[in-house]
Structure formats: structure tokens, C-alpha cells
Amino acid sequence: MNKIVTSLTLVLLAVLLVGPSLTHAQSSHILLGSTNRGDLVEIDLAAGTVQLIGNAPSPGGWTDLAMDPAGNLYAVSRWRSEPNSVCFGVFSAGKCAHLYRLDPNTGAVLEHIGDLQAAAVSDIDFAGSGILYGSRYVDTLPQDDGGLVTIDPADANITVPPNIRFGSLMENGGLAVHPLTGDLWAIESSFAIFTGASVTNIFKVDPSTGLAIPPVVPLGIFGQPADFTGFDGLEILPDGRFIATTNFQPRILIEIKPDPMPESGLAETMVIRLTFDPAILGQTLNGLTSPTAAQITVAIDIKPGSDPNGVNPTNNGLIPVAVLGSMDFDASLVNPTTVLFGLNTASPAHNGHIEDVNSDGFLDILFHFRTIDTGIACGDMLAGLSGATAAGDGFAGTDAIMTTGCN
């Protein structure tokens, strides 16, 4: 989407171009991305490459992508002019966003589903249940704070429940459903045209109200608050990592750890530098989505030998979690550096022990996680683990828990 960029964006751009790259362990993972020209691209995070799949000309390109649980790929177009349109706004007068279905193998348009009525929808993502969420770009009225909508992928009809809004947001910079927990996350990345203020935060969203669920955590770049409007899209990978696109530097992605760092209170961000196919050189990445087939569902066992799996969220100890092997999954091939557990995507305290935890004849791998790092809270009934194999295949699994020590 077109966004107003503050002068600080230029400063951060210079830092990103000459500053050091932050390195971290990455598993091979393939993403689909969209550009402002209408390209569909394949992004290999391990190799840092962006390759063109195909191009379907659209007015201003695709602002976001989403793949449903069945593998159907949907795209939202930038606004296009429509005669006698009901769409309105400061920037989008007479223009509507449109919903399309694309061929994930060629990028070609399979179906123009329809316009998204009077909602300037910019970001979309599917929940595991098949619900398609969207966020509205805010440029209509000063009192319009934007909001969360649900979209019928069959006909592009939107539903805006009464009073459902993103709180005080002036623009949403990304929307994604966590594949393990089902939580809805958003990036608030905006320049408030009516107040002159700019904000960049990340937080969970209550889908029943559209309001932010605390904490609302400011994003930072190289330890400094990211006070600019450059975040354009958000995707949460099957292995639990948060990846965002930017429009202030088209040749990078940003990995986000949404927990506030103790020293600064900012969410930690790390740069993933990209090498573009010359055919798409100069284009800006807008949307991201994970191919449905990229994730393997595995069995995990939290606190092996316990039933129920009691977890005290305030305990300072460790939680054992086993990734169980089977005839279809070789747990001994798990890459320990990719393993994450719980809502806060905690890393394991060690590299794991290979053993047959449940005595079924298949090797398992047992990890331990610091309870306070997991984000498990009183009342939680499920916890998830994700990671990737040495070959780069993403996997995920969940197990039931019962929280203890809660009032």
C-alpha cells in the first residue's frame, strides 16, 4: 500500500544499507510473496533469494496474499478506480480494493472474486478454521480508526461487526494468524494524517472486538524505536517465526520477536537480506504467505509420563517436551536451532536428547524449555511447538496442558 514516510525513514534506510547484518540461525523455509507490480515470487529464507514465479498485471500490484487450508491462494489488489464507486476516502476516493484467486504455480489470475465494497482492505490472512480476516486501511474520516473485518472468499462480501476496531490505529501494517495458537497478530505501522504522529507496534488482536490485547510492544531497528511507516505486511511461519515486509527498503525482510526486550522494552528485530531475481529487481515486496503444504503436523508430548500435563506458569524450572517420531516422521532429523515452544516462541535450553521417550520403537527428541520464557498463562489449555528438519521442512504440533498455581 502507498504510505506516507517520515524523514526518519531515510535515516534508517541509510543505516540498513551500510550497517551490519544481524545473523541468527535460520532453517530453510519457502514463502510466497507479492510485489507492487503484481508479481508472485518465491522467497527462500535460507538462501536469501527472491525468484519470480509469474506476473498478473493488476492496478498497483497485490497488497497481500493468503493461502487457505486447502491450498487456494488469494490476493488483494491495490485500489482501482471504479465508476460511481461506493468506496471513498482521503486517498482512495472512487477506488476499491479487490479480491482475487491466483494460481500459486504461475501467478496467473484464476478468478476475480469481487470488490471489497466500501472497505479499503490492505492485509488478509486465513485462520486454521478457514475464516478470512482482513484489516482496513484508514483514510476515510478522522474519527474512523480502521478495523478488523471478515471476508467471504466466495464472493468478497465483508462483515464488519458493530464497534469492531483496531483501537486507535490509523493504519494497519500487517495482519497474521499464528499457525500454532490461532492468535491474531497485527503490526500498527502508520502516519496519522490528522495528528501528525507516527507509530510502529506489534500486538495480538481480540477477534471478537478488534482491540489490541496488551502488551502493545514498540518495534525497534538496531535497538532504536522504529518511528516510521515502513512495515507493509506480516506472516507467521509454521515454525513460529514472525516475518515482516518493509516499504522503506525493498531488499530486506524483518524477523520480529514480539516480546519486549528487558533493556529497551522494544520488540527485537533482525534483518534478512535478500537477493532479487533481475526480472523483479527494484520491486517492493508487499504481501507474504506460507504455502499450506510447507508444514508437517507431528505429535508432541509435553511432560512425558504425566497425565494431565500440569504447568505452573510462574515456575522458574524447565518444561520437558518431546517431538515424537513415527513411521512418517524421523524425529532424529530435527534441527534443534529451529525449535520454538509456546506463544512466546521460547528456544530450548539445550540441543535435545535423542531417545525413545514413549517406547514405541521410534526415536524421539526431547527438549527442555524455561517455563517463564514460553508465555504460557493461567487458563491456557494447549501449547504448541514448531521447528524444521535438517532438510528445511517445517513441522508443528500441539499438546494439551492444565495450568496450576493460578488463583
- State the average pLDDT for the chain: 76
* Alpha-helical runs (H) found in 331-397: 371-374
Q: Per-residue pLDDT tens for 30-55?
A: 899 998 888 999 998 888 899 999 98
Confidence bin at 158 (pLDDT 50/70/90): confident
* Mean pLDDT to the nearest integer, 113-132: 79
Q: Per-residue pLDDT tens for 344-368?
A: 778 899 999 999 999 999 999 999 9
Confidence bin at 192 (pLDDT 50/70/90): very low
Cis amide linkage into residue 320, ω under 30° from 0: no
Q: Could you tell me which of 164, 346, 166 has the C-alpha nearest to residue 241? A: 346
Q: Rounded CA gap, 340 and 126, in Å? A: 22
**Residue 270 in contact with residue 255, Cβ under 8 Å?**
yes
Q: Rounded CA gap, 51 and 275, in Å? A: 9
Confidence bin at 15 (pLDDT 50/70/90): very low
Give the count of alpha carbons within 13 A of 210, CB side only: 22
Residue 88 backbone phi and psi in degrees, to 5: -150, 165
Which helix (H) or strand (E) segment is 354 a member of? strand 353-355
Q: Rounded CA gap, 235 and 64, in Å? A: 10
Q: Per-residue pLDDT tens for 208-217?
A: 777 788 888 8
Whose cell is 502488551? That residue is 215
Q: Rounded CA gap, 89 and 92, in Å? A: 5
Beta-carbon contacts of 14 under 8 Å, excluding residues fewer than 6 positions away, are none
Strand order across the beta sheet in which 300-302 lies? 300-302, 318-323, 364-370, 353-355
Residue 364 backbone phi and psi in degrees, to 5: -120, 170
Whose cell is 482492505? That residue is 121
Which residue ranges form the domains of the chain, and what is each CATH number?
Answer: 7-293 (2.115.10), 298-403 (2.60.40)
Does the pLDDT of residue 134 top 70, yes or no? yes
Does the pLDDT of residue 20 top 50, yes or no? no
Local structure of 331: helix, strand or coil: helix
Strand partners, 270: 255
* DSSP 8-state symbol, 63: E
As given in the structure block, the three cell numbers for residue 385 are 511447538
| Alpha carbon distances (Å) from 86 to 76, 121, 157, 339 | 18, 14, 14, 48
